Amino acid sequence: MQQQNWKSKPQLVLPKRIILMRHGESQANIDIATYSTTPHNKIPLTDVGLAQAHLAGAHLLRVISDIDTNSPNWRVYFYVSPYERTRSTLRQIGRSFSRTRVIGVREECRLREQDFGNFQAQDRFKAIKETKEKFGRFFFRNPEGESAADVYDRVSKSGGWHGSPI
């Protein structure tokens, strides 16, 4: 009989918590016409958005510090989409954390916002938005873009629970 060599599998260490944050106020949040003049991934934060992100970082640090008072060696790992507004938000948030608390930062393309297609013409954008509301927002696929269902599939595949670790 052949003897089997049993190797122990490395223990999977799961995070205590996963905290999702949205970017601060962007130029497109205050002026929708920005989508017709600026590539979606290059839309910047406003000054208000930068201030919001800074406050969010301070708040996040307080929340984590308060929760982990029994674990003084806590660490964070940040995931960020490749969009300028999310990277700017993370830079502001990161200013609240000492370098010893940050294990790492990873840009994750699958965590980007929904692709609404090419909307350089505002009239077309308005007509498509009305059609989407009429037929259902979740499954309606934007022309040259994606539906909310597409986003769900893309993002859920990045979360590790489908066998594809983030």
Q: Which of the following is catalytic: 113, 130, 133, 162?
A: 113
Q: Which residue has the higher pLDDT, 70 or 27?
A: 27
CATH of residue 90: 3.40.50.1240
What DSSP designation does 104 have?
E
94, 122: one domain: no
Residue 24 counted as an annotated binding residue: yes
Q: Which of the following is catalytic: 23, 40, 59, 162?
A: 23
What pLDDT digit, counting tens, does each position of 115-125 carry?
877 766 667 77
- CA distances 23 to 41, 64, 87, 155, Å, are 12, 19, 8, 16
53, 128: one domain: no
162 is catalytic: no
Q: Which residue has the higher pLDDT, 39 or 17?
A: 39
What pLDDT digit, counting tens, does each position of 32-44 carry?
889 888 998 999 9
d(CA 46, CA 40): 15
59 is catalytic: no
Domain count, the chain: 2
Residue 57 counted as an annotated binding residue: no
Model-level pTM?
A: 0.76
Q: Which residue has the higher pLDDT, 103 or 27?
A: 27
Residue 27 counted as an annotated binding residue: yes
Give percent of the chain above pLDDT 90. Answer: 39
- Looking from the CA of 156 toward its CB, the CA atoms found within 13 Å total 7
The whole domain housing 95 covers 18-113
